[in-house]
Every structure is written in C-alpha cells, then in structure tokens.
C-alpha cells in the first residue's frame, strides 16, 4: 500500500485519513520535515490557505515541502490545498506565499463568502461511476490554466444544477474546479466530507503510476 501523508497543521485531517484508507492507501499525519522522506504522496487539506502558509513556515515545512514537490512528490490539494499548490493567487493577502507547482492562477473565495458555500456534484475526468458529490466551502476556482494543466472538472452549466451567481467575481457556472499537472492533483471542493472516496482513489492511482 502506498504511504500517503496528510498535512496535519490545520483542516479536516481525519476525513482525509478515512478517505485514503477507503481508497487503499496507508495514511499518516504529517507535521515534521523529517516525515516527508517516507511518503509516496501527500494530501494538503482545506482550511485557510493563509494560516496553513504561516504554519508551514513556523513548522519549518515550507522549504522542504516545496523542494519535495519540485522533486516530483505527488500531492493532492483540496480547496486551501489547491491554493497552496497554485503558482499564482488572486485575492491573496499581501504576505501570502504558496508552495507552487501547478501552472494555474486561482481566485480565493471566488464563489463568495461563507454563506455562499454550497453542495453540488461534478463530472470529473479520471473518475468513473458518475458525478462526484462536491462540497464547496469558501472555495477557490481556477481562473487560468497553463498548457501543461489538464482540466478535470468544471462547475455545472446554468440550468443543470449550477449554483446561482453570487458576488462580484463573475458567473459561477462552467468554472474550472479540478485540475491535474503531472503528479499534482487539485480540487476546489472537498470530496472527503461526502463519504465518496473516488477522488482519493484517483490520487492513489496517480501515486502508483
């Protein structure tokens, strides 16, 4: 079984651990730089990307993790995790840094404020068996993706269960919400809180490749 870490600085670590177990991996919580070497892959959970960024630096994980990603460590980032994997962020705080690796521009809180969190489902490339239930919690979207980035999922189009447009960031239908670039996978949404492990199964398959 591949050993897949779950970054355990902030966020819903337990849910990712459960989803990884269901997907056939051996999950381990990660808080120290020395724990990175033993990993076949890593999940960065949702939470607050600014806080996770600060904690990564406090726990002296920022540079080692950035180096591990650059060296090819497979990483799956959900929500705040997607932001941390993005090369460029719109709506970042002035001192916010990302680990980078994904040639995308993400927009933080793109779907609106906390009250604009919503559940939907998305068709996702590489995930057989029908739409994936997806919880969007103050979620980002991918505003621009470079040529090496594969778009795996978009929000539904209007009239097909799409959420209503919310704030000033534009139409919420048809937005890019899941991407892959090499061994990096990212989703705007949280699949780990819906009891459906298929996105984690896709990540485990990427780790095994």
Contact criterion met (CB below 8 Å) for 151 and 176: yes
Rounded to whole angstroms, the Cα distance separating 31 from 35 reads 7
Catalytic residue status for 79 = yes
Rounded to whole angstroms, the Cα distance separating 177 from 46 reads 14
Give the distance from CA 198 to its chain's centroid: 14
Task: Determine, following the binding rule CB under 6 A, whether residue 149 of this chain makes contact with ligand GLN.
Answer: no
Structure token pair of residue 155: 């929000």
Q: 16, 192, 200, 201: which one is catalytic?
A: 192
For 58, the 3-state DSSP assignment is helix
Contact criterion met (CB below 8 Å) for 207 and 4: yes
The span of 44-52, 69-77, 119-127, 143-151 binding ligand GLN (CB under 6 A) equals 44-52
Minimum Å gap between C-beta 159 and ligand GLN is 27
Minimum Å gap between C-beta 182 and ligand GLN is 23
Task: Determine, following the binding rule CB under 6 A, whether residue 80 of this chain makes contact with ligand GLN.
Answer: yes
Of the pair 138, 156, the CB lying nearest ligand GLN is at 138
Of the pair 2, 89, the CB lying nearest ligand GLN is at 89
The span of 27-35, 43-51, 65-73, 200-208 binding ligand GLN (CB under 6 A) equals 43-51
Among 27, 41, 46, 101, binds ligand GLN (CB under 6 A): 46
Task: Determine, following the binding rule CB under 6 A, whether residue 163 of this chain makes contact with ligand GLN.
Answer: no
Rounded to whole angstroms, the Cα distance separating 54 from 92 reads 13
Catalytic residue status for 143 = no
Minimum Å gap between C-beta 128 and ligand GLN is 26
Q: From residue 29, how far is each of 24, 58, 69, 77, 102 by CA, in Å?
A: 16, 17, 18, 15, 23
Task: Determine, following the binding rule CB under 6 A, whether residue 83 of this chain makes contact with ligand GLN.
Answer: yes
Of the pair 48, 119, the CB lying nearest ligand GLN is at 48
- 143: nearest Cα among 108, 99, 97: 108
Rounded to whole angstroms, the Cα distance separating 98 from 129 reads 33
By CB under 6 A, name the binding residues for ligand GLN: 46-49, 79-80, 83, 108-109, 137-138
Catalytic amino acids? 79, 190, 192
Provide the annotated binding site for L-glutamine.
Answer: 47-49, 108, 137-138
């Amino acid at each position: 079984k591949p050993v897949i870490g779950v970054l355990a600085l902030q966020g819903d670590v337990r849910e990712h651990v459960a989803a990884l177990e269901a997907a056939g991996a051996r999950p381990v919580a990660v808080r120290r730089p020395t724990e990175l070497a033993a990993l076949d892959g890593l999940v960065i959970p949702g939470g607050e990307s600014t806080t996770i960024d600060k904690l990564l630096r406090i726990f002296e994980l920022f540079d080692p993790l950035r180096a591990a990603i650059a060296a090819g460590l497979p990483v799956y980032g959900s929500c705040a995790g997607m932001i941390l994997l993005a090369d460029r962020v719109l709506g970042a705080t002035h001192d916010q840094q990302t680990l980078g690796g994904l040639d995308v521009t993400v927009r933080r809180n793109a779907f609106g404020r906390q009250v604009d969190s919503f559940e939907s489902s998305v068709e996702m490339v590489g995930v057989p068996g029908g739409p994936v239930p997806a919880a969007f919690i103050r979620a980002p979207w991918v505003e621009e993706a470079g040529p090496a980035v594969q778009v795996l999922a978009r929000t539904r189009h209007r009239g097909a269960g799409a959420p209503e447009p919310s704030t000033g960031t534009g139409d919420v239908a048809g937005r890019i919400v899941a991407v892959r670039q090499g061994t990096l996978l990212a989703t705007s949404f949280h699949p780990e809180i819906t009891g459906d492990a298929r996105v984690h199964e896709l990540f485990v398959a990427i780790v095994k490749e």
